[in-house]
Every structure is written in structure tokens, then in C-alpha cells.
Structure 1
């Protein structure tokens, strides 16, 4: 079950991001998101370095796979991706940045 209001409608990413963080309270879920995002970066780098586009679907599987395992088994909620795909993708990368700079605990 989601932590935030399931009927919320967001008109900006600024409004959405606190909700997104509320959906990622579990440290293991955040860590899995972080690992998945690192995997995305690695897969995209390999695609560029090798010229092999098959790394790109791997980036998608890696990013979403780790995140969804975190939600299913640790956060026990439905990923925000299903309700807010663009804001959720943006949230993944802002949270990744916030973890990297120490604003959010890994």
C-alpha cells in the first residue's frame, strides 16, 4: 500500500518529489534504486564505448528491475512509475543525486 495519497494529482515535479521520497522510506529500497541507477549509467557507458545498442535495453531492465524489487519486497508499495512515469523517472535521478551529495542517507 502506498504511503502517500493515492488520488493526489501533481502539477509540478516540486510538488511530486516529497511524495516520491515518502514512497522510498525503506533504506534497502533506496539502496536498490541507487544500485539500479549505477547499472543504468554503466550500461549506457558500455553502449557508447562499444557501439553496441544491446546495452540500452539492459539499462532499462537494470534500472527498473532493482527499483521494483525494492518496492515489492522491502517498501511493500506500488512503484510511482505506474501512476507518474515522467515524474518518477525524474525522481529516481534527483534521489540518486541527493544520495551522492549526502542529502539523503543511503
Structure 2
């Protein structure tokens, strides 16, 4: 299914969730996204713009550890970068509101 082409994000998101069945992987995604938000807030408050360079390392670093060590699959980012980024934030929201277990 990873080679599948998706016509919309709503078609992609169930696939994305299927690639994040492991709770530890989802937790690492959540922590990485939360840290990205913290860095953004810090940049806005301090004006230390160079911290923006850390955002991809933080966001992808946590997520990829989850995939390679817990989920044992390749991140969807490699084949579906935009939908995957959107999926990260939708899953973050879904975890935050309790729709998906943390």
C-alpha cells in the first residue's frame, strides 16, 4: 500500500494511521511535534531565528526513531512528504483530543 497513489488527504490518512499502530511510535511523533511547537514559540518570544534550523531535526528525528525502532517500517515522508506532514499534525490533534490513544 505504500506505493499507492492517493487522490486526497482523506484517502491518505487511514493509510497514515495504519503506519502508526505502535503506541511508542505515536508517542514519539507527539513529543516531536510538541517540541517543534515549543521551538516556534521560543523563536517568536526570543527572536533567536537560528533555532528554526532545529525544527526538521526535532520533528523528523523523533518520528523516524519511532518508525525504525518501534514500528519497523519506512516513514511515509519518503513517498508522501506533504500528506505525511499533514498527517503528523492531524494525528497530533487527534491524540490531543483523545481520538487516538497516547
TM-score, normalization: structure 1?
Answer: 0.94
Unaligned regions of 5+ residues in structure 2, if any?
Answer: none
Write the distance in 2 (CA, Å) between the matches of 1:54 and 1:42. Answer: 14
| Corresponding residue to 1:29 among 19, 25, 29 | 25
The root-mean-square deviation of aligned C-alpha atoms, in Å, is 0.6
Deviation by residue 1:15-74 (Cα, 9 ceiling, x = unmatched): 000000000000000000000000100111111111111111112211110000000000
Write the distance in 1 (CA, Å) between the matches of 2:66 and 2:39. Answer: 20
Q: Which has the higher helix share?
A: 2
Unaligned regions of 5+ residues in structure 1, if any?
Answer: none
TM-score, normalization: structure 2?
Answer: 0.97
The count of residues paired between Structure 1 and Structure 2 equals: 102
